Amino acid sequence: MANNLPQLILVVGSGGREHALVRSLLASPARPRVLCAPGNAGIAQDVPCFPVAADDVGALVALAQREKVDFVVVGPEVPLSLGLVDELMKAGIPAYGPKADGALLEASKIFTKKILLKYKIPTAPAGFFSAVAPALAYLRTRSIPIVVKADGLAAGKGVVVAQTLAEAEAAVRGMLEGGKFGASGSQLLIEDCLAGEETSLLVVVSGRDYVMLPVAQDHKRVGDGDTGPNTGGMGAYSPAEVVTPALLDRIEREIVRPSVNAIADEGIDFRGTLFIGLMLTPAGPSVIEYNTRFGDPETQVVLPRLQTDLLALLWAAARGGLAGLKLEVKPDYAVCVVIAAKGYPEAYPKGDVITFPPASSLPPQAFIYHAGTARNSAGQTVTNGGRVLGVTALAPTLRAAADQAYAVCEQIQCASKYYRRDIGARQLHRT
């Protein structure tokens, strides 16, 4: 392996995050070959894709063996929690991403909350319930608004920020009695509501060593001005200057380092991305959640800003060699606007033809990352999911990055195209 870096990498997943991972890995000076499973129409233009589902652990291990890959980078949470990395390691294939024990930090909000409370890491107080009556009784002891969360993975939809007691009670009943989230909702947390700005901090962790990636802000609601239902994320920007250098120091001291150490103290050998969802409350930063993978769409603004070779970074984390690695980041601002199918996050059409502007008309630092796209029998690129594309632009100012990303969005044609018009507005209006 040249430079001791792997030469054949398999990326698992099919979203904008995975497209960004593929692009950044391809940009490595080690010039690796990259494969993806299952990928999407855009990823397939860049690298060979294999039709193996991201949650088919056995088939993914078999694919990695058959193709003789020497490194697997896992994008989504589901294969991590199903033990894909455990199985790859048993097969002797190095992988980036936590094993199932580490993935539980995302797959169980109760597991995580217990760790946060045990290690006194700032987080909202919470109660845990598996029966309706005690949950309803607890609700009456707390103030409104209040947050009700299904314990397990629910694709970002298991959280209700209730503005009234009746709404909170309905959420409790819906989760515990209604079976709305299946096994994921058989236990729940009721958590005090935190007020403030949210930010996403992606931390590349290897045991007790870690590297913090640049801070980003996501836009979770579907509509402009943060209105409408929550989504997987409608856009992002980085850096998030609401996190000043002094605040970042505090976040590292009070949250990042204690979290990494707590996870290690719990006996988890975590090698992957610890995505810390933070609320910047007036009293200080507080943990909303951990995810155990790169964020989507945060990855689409964080990775293009890295000067450091992503492959070297992920490989070092997986191999336990992260100590002393110094991250280099471009000074440019990045904005990613997610183009969704109209109707998302509820019902939306699939199969609408997408037409793209010629590559020659794109700004020099623009990236069109594919998420829910596929190719139809006529060879056209069509919509195939709720979040369809992520359009990222990098520029010396946030304004210029946003303007460039939006100019590209306007040139993309698709009948069901929908996107927020205010990605980055919070920071643009602040400055």
Interacting residues with ligand AMP (CB under 6 A): 124, 147, 156, 159, 161, 191, 193-194, 198, 220, 230, 277, 288-289
Residue 83: contacted member of ligand GLY, ligand AMP, none (CB under 5 to 8 Å, by partner type): none
In eight-state DSSP terms, residue 364 is T
Please state the closest distance from residue 425 (CB atom) to ligand GLY, in A.
17
Please state the closest distance from residue 97 (CB atom) to ligand AMP, in A.
19
Q: Is position 291 an interface residue for ligand GLY (rule: CB under 6 A)? A: yes
Contact by Cβ (8 Å): 312, 326: no
The Cα 84–Cα 100 span in angstroms is 8
* Interacting span for ligand GLY (CB under 6 A) from 290-298, 304-312, 318-326, 347-355: 290-298
Residue 191: contacted member of ligand AMP, ligand GLY, none (CB under 5 to 8 Å, by partner type): ligand AMP
Please state the closest distance from residue 291 (CB atom) to ligand AMP, in A.
8
Please state the closest distance from residue 303 (CB atom) to ligand AMP, in A.
21
Among 191, 209, 296, 352, binds ligand GLY (CB under 6 A): 296
Question: SS3 helix, strand, coil % of the chain, rounded to 5?
Answer: 35, 30, 40
Residues 167-226 that bind ligand GLY (CB under 6 A): 218
φ, ψ for residue 275, nearest 5 deg? -100, 110
What are the beta bridge partners of residue 159? Answer: 149
What are the beta bridge partners of residue 216? Answer: 200
First-to-last alpha carbon distance for the chain, in angstroms, is: 47
Give Dmax over CA atoms of the chain in angstroms.
62
- Residue among 74, 70, 69 nearest 85 (CA): 74
Query: Residue 199 or 383: which CB sits closer to ligand GLY?
Result: 199
Please state the closest distance from residue 219 (CB atom) to ligand GLY, in A.
9
Please state the closest distance from residue 156 (CB atom) to ligand GLY, in A.
6
The Cα 1–Cα 7 span in angstroms is 6
Contact by Cβ (8 Å): 294, 218: no
Q: Which residues of 44-65 are buried (b: 16+ CB within 10 A; e: fewer)?
A: beebebbebebebbeebbebbe
Query: Residue 292 or 381: which CB sits closer to ligand GLY?
Result: 292
Contact by Cβ (8 Å): 392, 300: yes
Number of residues that bind ligand GLY (CB under 6 A): 7
Tokens of 53: 């589902």
Please state the closest distance from residue 102 (CB atom) to ligand AMP, in A.
17
The Cα 393–Cα 286 span in angstroms is 30
Among 298, 309, 352, 422, binds ligand GLY (CB under 6 A): 298
Please state the closest distance from residue 279 (CB atom) to ligand AMP, in A.
6
Contact by Cβ (8 Å): 261, 207: no
Query: Residue 161 or 407: which CB sits closer to ligand AMP?
Result: 161
Binding mask 128-167 for ligand GLY (x = CB under 6 A): ----------------------------x-----------
Query: Applying CB under 6 A, which residues contact ligand GLY?
Result: 156, 218, 233, 291, 295-296, 298
